[in-house]
Chains A and B, each alone.
Chain A
Amino acid sequence: DVKVTQSSRYLVKRTGEKVFLECVQDMDHENMFWYRQDPGLGLRLIYFSYDVKMKEKGDIPEGYSVSREKKERFSLILESASTNQTSMYLCASQKASAYEQYFGPGTRLTVT
C-alpha cells in the first residue's frame, strides 16, 4: 500500500512565523502535490513537483514556497504565516504514468 505521511496532524503558529510542513511518500512516486482545503472551496493546488528540485506553481502559490531535495520528500514553507493561511493542508503523491493521487492524512494549521 502507498503510504503518504505528513509531519503534523495539528499545528498552531503565530502570525509572522516561518512554518514548515513536511510530506514523505514511500512508493517512489515521481509527482507530489500540496493542496489546501477550505470549506465550500474543495481542494486548491498550491504547488506540485514532477521531479527532484523541480516545482511548478498551482492555482494559489502566493505566500508559499516548496522544496524537493529528495524524491520521497516534499516540503511546503510558509515564509511568514498569516491568519488567512489557516486551513487544512493536504499532501499527495502520484506515479507519473497514472492518474490516481494518494493523500496523506492532512495537517490542520491554525495561525493566530
Chain B
Amino acid sequence: QQQVKQSPQSLIVQKGGIPIINCAYENTAFDYFPWYQQFPGKGPALLIAIRPDVSEKKEGRFTISFNKSAKQFSLHIMDSQPGDSATYFCAASKDEKLTFGTGTRLTIIP
C-alpha cells in the first residue's frame, strides 16, 4: 500500500525556475513531513521538514507548503541552480519509521 504518493516522477527546469514537487498522504496520524535530497552514490540527506500545525516553512531557497485538509504537501525550490539536480523524496511519519514517496528526479538545465 502506497501511503505517500509523489509526483512528478521526473522534472526538468531551466536555471532560475521554480520546480514544484507534490506529495499526498493517506494516514491522518502522520505528524512529521520531511523532504530528502539524494545525489547519485550518496544516501538521502534531510533538506527541510514541517509539522501539520504550520502551513508553510522556508529555509533558504527551499519552501514546504502544507495543506492539512487536502492531505497534501509540496516542495518549492526558488532560483533553482544546476547543483540542485538530484532526486528528491518526500516522507511522512507518525513514529520513528519514515514512509517515503517514490522520488522525483530533478534536472536543472543551465
Physical interaction between A and B: no
Question: A residues touching B (Cβ–Cβ < 8 Å)?
Answer: none
Question: B residues touching A (Cβ–Cβ < 8 Å)?
Answer: none
